[in-house]
Each structure stands twice: as structure tokens, then as C-alpha cells.
């Protein structure tokens, strides 16, 4: 994947995050919401890194 694909995915996920934040986490602690969001980003980036290392 090239940089444009990653940039578009990043923009899309940022938009979805903003929408979900407005809809569903009004009663969730902001620190918890940040921790969950960070965990998801780390998980996805680790999968991407592992797939790069496994490729010949």
C-alpha cells in the first residue's frame, strides 16, 4: 500500500472516531476512551509491522 492509501484510511478512522465519540461515550471517562483508542492503534500498527517482516 502506498502513502495515499494510509492517509485516506487515517482520515476515515479519524472521522469515525469523532462521530462515535459524539454518539456513544458521553458517560465514559476521557482517560479510558483515550486508552482504548491508543490500544487499538498500537494493535493495528503491530499487525502491520509483523506483516512487513514476514513478507519475503
Q: Provide the pLDDT confidence category of residue 53 given band limits of 50, 70 and 90.
A: low
Q: What is the pTM of this model?
A: 0.47
Range of the domain at 31: 3-54
Burial 40-53 (b: 16+ CB within 10 A, else e): eeeeeeeeeeeeee
Q: What is the 3-state secondary structure (H, E, C) of 1-56?
A: CCHHHHHHHHHHHHHHHHHHHHHHCCCCCHHHHHHHHHHHHHHHHHHHHHHHHHCC
Note the pLDDT of residue 25: 65
Note the pLDDT of residue 37: 79
Note the pLDDT of residue 49: 67
Q: Structural domain tally of the chain?
A: 1
- Per residue in 6-44, pLDDT (tens digit) is 889 888 888 887 777 777 667 777 788 778 878 888 888
Amino acid at each position: 500500500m502506498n502513502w495515499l492509501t494510509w492517509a485516506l484510511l487515517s482520515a476515515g478512522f479519524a472521522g469515525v472516531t469523532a462521530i462515535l465519540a459524539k454518539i456513544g461515550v458521553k458517560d465514559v471517562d476521557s482517560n479510558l476512551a483515550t486508552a482504548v483508542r491508543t490500544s487499538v492503534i498500537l494493535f493495528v500498527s503491530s499487525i502491520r509491522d509483523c506483516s512487513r517482516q514476514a513478507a519475503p
